[in-house]
Amino acid sequence: MKNLLIWLALYASVLVWSAWQPHDGITWWMEATPALLALPLLAWCRWKFPLTPLLYVLILLHCWVLLVGAHYTYAQVPLFDWLAEWLGWSRNNYDKLGHFAQGFVPAMIAREILLRNRVLQAGGWCHFLCGCFALALSALYELIEWWAAVLTEDGAEAFLGTQGYVWDTQSDMLLALIGAICALWTLSSLHDRQLAKWVMFAPAQRVTLSDGSL
């Protein structure tokens, strides 16, 4: 219960800050919607399919990325304006961080679902399909951005955040794929340990880890 309250407090504090006088109201709703949907989905999962602590932390961090981008719009996050000036970038690259997270976090969510439902064992095929899922999700999000931009017209540039970069869509999907690969490469061992501890309390959802245990 203590961890839940801490999670909710950290989520709510950034949400309230993000929603207070955002740069553009319509863009805020479009950018923040995934983070807003995360809360009821996690509430449902807590009773039906509780996640490992690692997943809850990653999802919270991803919500923060979304809410910061929603508050300022992705092309105008102040820290990344400063980085652009310091590093000589031609654009604000906060949206690239967002798309990296869009691969990093969903890949680990996919891994947990596949392992706990015994669809796959941990290993090469699991990594490959989790990467495919993250890349497919990124492509779907690019389509949603396109459709939403067509419908909103005036808010299209702020929502898309292309900043005149002709390869923005392709680079967004590449960053999501890189994020997925980094997550699977760096976090799989920790994830396996948390899954091993979790299944002690839920033997009906045993999984086979990469070392053959469980």
User: Tens digit of pLDDT for each residue in 153-186?
Assistant: 655 555 555 555 566 788 889 999 999 999 999 9
> Residue 12 is encoded by which pair of tokens?
């709510």
Q: Contact 79/92 with Cβ under 8 angstroms?
A: no
Residue 206 counted as domain residue: no
Assigned domain for 178 exists: yes
Whether residue 210 lies inside any domain: the answer is: no
204 in a structural domain? no
Model pTM score: 0.83
Share of the chain above pLDDT 90, in %: 53
Average pLDDT of span 102-110? 96
- pLDDT category of residue 203 using cuts at 50, 70 and 90: very low
pLDDT at position 123 is: 86
pLDDT, tens digit (0-9, with 9 covering 90-100), for 66-80: 999 999 988 889 998
Domain range spanning residue 6? 2-198
pLDDT of residue 204: 40
SS3 content of the chain, % helix, strand, coil (to 5): 80, 0, 20
DSSP state string for 25-66: HHHHHHHHHHHHHHHHHHHHHHHHSPPPHHHHHHHHHHHHHH
- Look at residue 183 and tell me if it is in a domain: yes
Domain membership flag for residue 211: no
The total number of structural domains in the chain stands at 1
Task: Round to whole Å and give the CA distance between 186 and 201.
Answer: 26
Residue 208 lies in a domain: no
Q: Is residue 203 part of a domain?
A: no
The vertex-177 CA angle with 169 and 110, nearest 5°, equals 120
